Amino acid sequence: MSTSPLQKTREWKPLEQRKCTDIPWLLLFILFNVGMLCICGFAIATGAASRLISGYDSYGNTCGQKNAKIPGIELSGRDHASRKYVFFLDPCNIDILRRKIKSVALCVSKCPDTELKTYEDLRNFSAVYGSDLCSYDVQPDTYSTHSNRATKCPTLPVHPSASLPVFHRCMPVDISCYARFAEAFITFVSDNSVVHRVIAGVMTSKEIIMGLCLLALVLSLILMVVIRYISVVLVWILTAVVVVGSIGGTGILWWLYVDHSKSVNATLPALELEVAKDNQKALLIYAIAATVFTVILLLLLFFMRKRVALTVALFHVASKVFTHLPLLALQPFWTFLTLMLFWVYWITVLLFLGSAGSPVQNNQTGLVEFRMDGPLQYMVWYHAVGLIWISEFILACQQMTVAGAVVTYYFTRDKSQMPFTPIVSSVLRLMRYHLGTVVKGAFIITLVEIPRLILTYIHSQLKGRENACARCMLKACICCLWCLEKCLTYLNTNAYTATAINSTNFCTSARDAFFILVENALRVAAINSVGDFVLFLGKVLIVSCTAFAGILSLNYQREYTVWVLPLIIVCVFSFLVAHCFLSIFEIVVDVLFLCFAIDTKYNDGSPGREYYMDKALMEFVENTRKDTERYGKVEAESREMKSMVSLKGQLLF
């Protein structure tokens, strides 16, 4: 075996010489998170938290406390110690673009718990409970006669409402308010009652929906275990579909070309004859292109057939990994839970920032809004970058944890000598040694994701106003950045695997992994194409089974007139569950492949250099070696025959 410069400087030593990596990046990440906490502290210190939780009216008064006078605002500076709830005059008027209720808000002492149909009902409610539901400058005895009651009093009828938990907002109990709002945006519904029936169907079938979602979870777990037994069948299905589809499509194109050639007649009118000839030329081009594509595809399938066998072997071993490391199946739960907790914190701080700043009167509506001016407004951008970076960091921690556990499994010859919980051991190694590496990898993804999101936002804002050239360039840039992000994500996963093996920093691990992937480019192509399609078929299988079970279950609920939304909810959730679990399976396959490539590069099965790989992968290596030896023997015999023929020719002459 030839010795590369990489091998001269360092040998791969799995699970040995553990050391801390990328410490400066960890320190930078800690400082960044300190900045995130400072933003949260600023929002709380400036009263934004109290305004968010207690609520405030449209004149800058915080409910539940005594307020200071705001210059220029007539109804500000009121004592609302007894008025602890925010009441909206028109709670169904929702502004989708600004994501808020577009209505005048007042502080009241009690939310109306019964329907109020007339202004007299509003006056009686104020007299009984002491809660005025009209503007502060309108007296209860003038509710029925006030000239501006249409704008200063709530829209009639006032629906029964209740205070939200923690947040003191009076929100309608009857969701029909929002159902009628949604009907305005559902253009394909001709009967307005359809929306009400759909919502009623979802509410009454919630037990079935929860049961079907649990079924999708169980099916995903079962598929991860049994996929090693059906992967061969799925690969053959893929091969058959691709071959039949490409050959059949090419044949149909040639048949259409011949049929159009026969129909082209010189007696046709000039215009029709020209159109027929254009169609004939187009079909000829399509047929030739399809033929070239089919030939190339068949050649690739022929030369990559052995590498497809490697994909099947890796799937077989990956399923065995889950039987030895069952806690791997829980990784999506922990990652999802961590992301949810962080997103809740992030949204809460964002809401704090939305109610932070100085009170400013809106010139159009005359109502008070809180805005941050000057350098403080850039805190929102800092907070947005934190959302992307920390989210990518959490996902990268999952990848590193899975990589560390799979590396432990692969490079442990005696599986009985593995740690009791390899997942926990991998998490501890990550926290002690490799957090900086994960931070750096997440930051690289963030650098690509931020401009992509900015361009996507610009494209959405300019939709219909930019010219075709600018639209095409924007889409091309977004597509290129998306492709770059996916490539970097794949390289990061392999870099984390290299770090889990050698305890090297991110750049060194990424370089080592890249060189190994380039050396096995055809194998990588086979695994990513065939493997991704097999996993896609697995997702389709789970969604189909869940949807079929949903149809059977809902069939017994004949009072449901609309099944669309419950089935859509079930199918979307089942796809997300299948994607979460099979994405872990995909990471395991990628880690196993890199370990296999390293194993075959630096070991040859001889004494002292024994393979670490599983029996299924060993069989693949042995079959490949036999084919190579057979090919070498045939080539040697061919050279010998050529030399004998050449010698015989020389003797004759």
Average pLDDT (23-44) is 92
Whole-number pLDDT of residue 563? 56
Q: Which residue, 108, 346, 343, 315, is CA-closest to 228? A: 315
Q: In this predicted model, what pLDDT tens digit does every residue of 416-443 receive, in sequence order?
A: 777 778 888 899 999 999 999 999 999 9
Q: In the predicted model, is pLDDT for residue 597 greater than 90?
A: no
pLDDT of the residue at 639: 56
pLDDT at 229 over 80: no
pLDDT digits (tens, 9 = 90+) for 125-145: 988 888 888 988 888 888 888
SS3 state of residue 172: strand
Q: How confident is the model at residue 207 (pLDDT cuts 50, 70, 90)?
A: confident
More confident residue, 34 or 44: 34
Lowest mean pLDDT among 83-87, 187-191, 460-464, 535-539: 187-191
Average pLDDT, the chain: 78
pLDDT at 184: 39
Residue 180 confidence class, pLDDT cut points 50, 70, 90: very low
Which residues are within 8 A (CB) of 459 and not within 5 positions of it... i.e. 6 or more apart?
Answer: 471, 474, 475, 478
Query: Which run of H or E residues covers position 470?
Result: helix 468-502
Tokens linked to 626: 């036999």
Give the residue, 42 or 272, on which the prediction is more confident.
42
Phi, psi at 85, each rounded to 5°: -125, 145
pLDDT of residue 191: 39
Across the range 549-563, mean pLDDT stands at 60
Instruction: Count Cβ atoms below 10 Å from residue 460 Cβ, excluding itself.
Output: 8
Residue 502 is encoded by which pair of tokens?
């050698």
What percentage of residues in the chain have a pLDDT greater than 90? 13
Half-sphere exposure for 596 (CA within 13 Å, toward CB): 26
Query: How many Å apart are CA 620 and CA 541, to the nearest integer?
Result: 28
The mean pLDDT value for 353-358 works out to 74
Of the chain, the percentage scoring pLDDT greater than 70 comes to 76
What is the pLDDT at residue 177?
Answer: 58
**Rounded-to-integer distance, Cα 175 and Cα 170, Å:** 13
Q: Please report the pLDDT score of residue 438 as a whole number.
A: 95
Per-residue pLDDT tens for 379-421?
A: 888 999 999 999 999 999 999 999 999 988 888 877 777 777 8
pLDDT tops 60 at residue 565: yes
The answer to whether 588 and 493 are in contact (CB under 8 A) is: no
**CA atoms of 529 and 311, how far apart (whole Å):** 10
- Sign of the C-alpha dihedral, residues 363, 369, 374, 378? negative
CA angle 505, 510, 514 (to 5 degrees): 155
Residue 76 has pLDDT above 90, yes or no: no
- Distance CA(140)–CA(214), nearest Å, equals 53
Question: 471 CB contacts (<8 Å, ≥6 apart)?
Answer: 459, 462
CB 519 within 8 A of CB 597: yes
Domain ranges of the chain: 15-46+319-514, 59-177
pLDDT of amino acid 564: 61
pLDDT tens digit string along 566-594?
A: 777 778 888 888 888 888 888 888 888 88
pLDDT in tens, 470-507: 778 888 888 898 889 888 988 999 999 999 888 889 99
Assess whether pLDDT exceeds 80 at residue 644. Answer: no
Between 20-34, 109-123, 260-274, 308-322, the lowest mean confidence (pLDDT) is in 260-274
Query: Does the pLDDT at position 32 exceed 90?
Result: yes
**Most confident region among 25-29, 134-138, 462-466, 608-612 by mean pLDDT:** 25-29
What is the rounded distance in angstroms from the CA atom of residue 478 to the CA atom of residue 463? Answer: 15
pLDDT at 99: 47
